[in-house]
Amino acid sequence: MNFYKMQGAGNDFVFIEDFNNEIEDECLLAKKLCDRHFGIGADGLVIVRKSEIANAKMVIINADGSRANMCGNAIRCFGKYVYEHNIANGDRFSVETGDGVKDIEIILANEKVRYVRVYMGKPSYDGRDIPLNNMESIIKTDITVDDKTYNMTTVLLGVPHTIIFENDKEYDVILDGSKIEKIDLFREGSNVNFVKIIDETHIKVDTWERGAGATLACGTGCSASVVVAKKLGLVHKDKEIFVKAPGGELVIEVLGDDVFMKGPAEVVFEGKLSL
């Protein structure tokens, strides 16, 4: 079986095709391939399949074998993969995900893929959507975890994301993120983003991803951080926001309730799997 290793802003994935649905245990396969010592090493496994409602279907499984409905960096890599492998015609096409169908736009420079722009959907603060236990929403709410209090906002944008602004406090993405991810409020866990406001059009985001841990970038996390920052009036309400993650920069645009993400995607290497 052929594979491709791809990365978007440092968030890395193993890509394989499974057009005939031949993989028997994809979660076990993800754990094996994503292991950085005994496998290829990645934050997640991405499976390329046929779709009856879009040009292609993206299945993503975290490094720990858990499933994810959506991943922003993965879908940018997926868009580049679909375009360069002629799975879809043209520079605009659709991708089926666990969070619905996403529209993709390929932005070229000198006939090569420079950026991939993705429609990320609409955010929801409704506790039923996130989903939350025994709370209607979490917006600028003080939550105490192990005797430490965090002011947090949680939003669903493909997957649940909890946003914590740290301009006045410093947090440890691993220690604090791992604790917050699994608190009882979150029925299915939550990704955790620690955000610093740089100016009205620039922010910095460090993300703890459920199922993957601290990553170099999280596309849905960067998008969710901008959505919340705009809602709370911390950045310019009408302009694109440039988001600096440890692995690179993404550009997030919010038009009404619609969220768009733009950023790079690269092939790292390719090879053959021995299963």
CA distances from 69 to 61, 102, 148, 157, 195 (A): 9, 12, 30, 10, 23
Catalytic residue chosen out of the listed positions 34, 71, 77, 222: 71
Q: Determine if residue 220 is labeled as part of a ligand binding site.
A: yes
- Rounded to 5 degrees, what are φ and ψ at 224? -65, -35
Residues 6+ apart with CB under 8 A from 28: 65
CA distances from 14 to 8, 33, 57, 176, 264 (A): 12, 7, 15, 28, 17
Q: Determine if residue 219 is labeled as part of a ligand binding site.
A: yes
Q: Determine if residue 105 is labeled as part of a ligand binding site.
A: no
Distance separating alpha carbons of residues 183 and 197, to the nearest angstrom: 26
Cα-based angle 94, 97, 102 (whole degrees, multiple of 5): 35
**Bridge partners for 270 per DSSP:** 4
Catalytic residue chosen out of the listed positions 27, 34, 77, 218: 218
Q: Determine if residue 191 is labeled as part of a ligand binding site.
A: yes
Q: Determine if residue 72 is labeled as part of a ligand binding site.
A: yes
Q: If you write DSSP's letter for every residue of 183-229 in order, what string do you get?
A: -TTBTT--EEEEEEEEETTEEEEEEEETTTEEES--HHHHHHHHHHH
14: how many CB neighbours lie within 10 A of its CB? 25
32: how many CB neighbours lie within 10 A of its CB? 16
For CA atoms 38, 40, 41, 43, the dihedral sign is: negative
Whether residue 77 lies in the annotated active site? no
Whether residue 222 lies in the annotated active site? no
Indicate the helix (H) or strand (E) that contains 148.
strand 148-157
Q: List alpha helices for the chain, DSSP H.
A: 26-34, 72-84, 173-181, 219-231
**Bridge partners for 143 per DSSP:** 150
What residues act catalytically? 71, 218
Q: Which residues belong to the annotated binding site?
A: 11, 62, 72-73, 191, 209-210, 219-220
Q: Which residues belong to the annotated binding site for substrate?
A: 11, 62, 72-73, 191, 209-210, 219-220
